[in-house]
Amino acid sequence: MQKAINVKRPLSPNLSEVQNIIAEITGYEPTDIQPTFSLTEDLQLNMEVDFPLIVKRVNTHFGTHLKPKELVDELDTVGELVELIDEETELG
């Protein structure tokens, strides 16, 4: 029987920027915002008010063209948002 290998992906350099953006909107300290945090449950984001503001700032900061209405049902955690930003910025 083979052992499963747990390979941790390195933290994205974009994580701290996303933490700062979320902190600006929510009032949390950036270091308190973890990649595993749920946007709605842990951070208590209002997905109709707070989330669009976060996405707007993400788009301005990273030069992405994310659309909040398309993402609201797709993203659950801070880490998923960071992964999406990583993908978008890699694709250009």
Euclidean distance between CA atoms 27 and 85, whole angstroms? 22
**Taking the mean position of all CA atoms in its chain, how far away is CA 83?**
7
Return the residue matching tokens 């998923």: 80
The whole model's pTM is what?
A: 0.86
From first to last of its 92 residues, the chain has per-residue pLDDT tens of 444 444 445 678 899 999 999 999 999 999 999 999 999 999 999 999 999 999 999 999 999 999 999 999 999 999 999 999 999 998 65
Domains of the chain: 15-91 (1.10.1200.10)
- Let me know: does 54 contact 21? Beta carbons within 8 Å: yes
